[in-house]
Amino acid sequence: MSKSYGSDASGSSNQLVLVLGATGKTGRRVAASLREKGIATRLGSRSANPPFEWNREQTWDACLDGVTDVYVNYAPDLAVPGATDSIQAFVERAKSHGVQRLVLISGRGETEAQACEQIVMSSGLTWTVVRAGWFNQNFSEGAFADMVVSRRITLPGGERQEPWIDVDDIAAVVVAALTELGHEAEVYEVTGPRLMSFADIASDLSNAIGSEIEYVDVPHADFLDGLAEAQVPKDVVWLMDYLFATVLDGRNAYVTDGVQRALGRPPKDFADYARDAVRTGSWKDVG
């Protein structure tokens, strides 16, 4: 059993954790879990007080004041141009404020993300990297949720397979790294327990919802054209292009033991995620 991190001899915590991306999929779960543990938590988002914005460095100091640990969650993705510059600048600012520990969420198979990892690793601070790929919750809280509701998952995935990871597992690993000893200088590459194609995902969703969800493989160019026609922001179109053309090329088609190593238990299976999502009211408007 790992020992708690950041408590003095009297047992009172001296931690103040800044959670960046605090309104996103992982950030809000991390923040909620930390607060349940009684750990002082500061939310880092545009809507927080004080606000945090990656592209406005003048917002960083107020957010870092008095902070001991940071969950570093870069939006929209560490692969985008300029991310390494932002991470370098943020790490230097964090050090100047006396931050002790950084926990970075990174991307599997992303060369640019691993360049950002190296910045964190060479910072001189205590660090942990949590390297993740495609999230289960993209189908209930993210870009693909409307496709499930319409019963047609139209994506350019072909038969390629990925070990989809549950966001709850990612958050649990991050929280462990922020609150326990024994996770220092670890790279936890986290995946679900099995490889899945989009057809497999559609099948599991169909079983959970009780209504057939079809997977339709679409050409990559047609997918991007559809995003543009729907007036999706250009940076999101760029990211979708990058993810489907580069990251989803088979480079990540293997299962890892990151969740097991960090938490001592296996990761959640996609079928269990789908059943839980149905129970909590996701996709209630499936046609």
The answer to whether position 152 is within a domain reads no
Q: How far apart are CA 67 and CA 134, in angstroms?
A: 30
The answer to whether position 103 is within a domain reads yes
The answer to whether position 119 is within a domain reads yes
The answer to whether position 226 is within a domain reads no
Please give the residue range of the domain that contains residue 61: 16-133+165-192+253-268
For the chain, the residue count is 287
User: Is 0.75 topped by the overall pTM?
Assistant: yes
Q: How is residue 2 annotated by DSSP?
A: P
85-117 confidence digits (pLDDT tens): 999 999 999 999 999 999 999 999 999 999 999
Q: Which backbone phi and psi does 106 adopt, to 5 degrees?
A: -125, 180
pLDDT of 159 > 60? The answer is yes
Q: How far apart are CA 38 and CA 42, in angstroms?
A: 12
169-183 confidence digits (pLDDT tens): 999 999 999 999 999
Among residues 258, 260, 287, the alpha carbon closest in space to that of 128 is found at 258
191-249 confidence digits (pLDDT tens): 999 999 999 999 999 999 999 999 999 999 999 999 999 998 888 899 999 999 999 99
Over residues 13-27, mean pLDDT = 95
Q: Residue 186: give its domain's CATH number.
A: 3.40.50.720
The answer to whether position 31 is within a domain reads yes
The answer to whether position 101 is within a domain reads yes
Give the confidence band of 285 by pLDDT, cuts at 50, 70, 90. confident
Q: How far apart are CA 275 and CA 227, in angstroms?
A: 29
Q: How far apart are CA 71 and CA 74, in angstroms?
A: 10
Give the confidence band of 10 by pLDDT, cuts at 50, 70, 90. very low
Q: In what order do the strands lie in the sheet with 101-107?
A: 40-44, 16-20, 69-72, 101-107, 126-132, 186-189
Among residues 180, 139, 184, the alpha carbon closest in space to that of 282 is found at 139
The answer to whether position 275 is within a domain reads no
- Among the ranges given (2-6, 22-26, 51-55, 108-112), the one the predictor scored with the smallest mean pLDDT: 2-6
Structural domain count, the chain: 1
- Tell me what percent of the residues of the chain surpass a pLDDT of 70: 95
Among residues 91, 47, 46, 48, the alpha carbon closest in space to that of 72 is found at 91
Give the confidence band of 83 by pLDDT, cuts at 50, 70, 90. very high
- 250 φψ region: left (φ > 0), alpha (ψ -120 to 50), beta (else): left
The answer to whether position 36 is within a domain reads yes
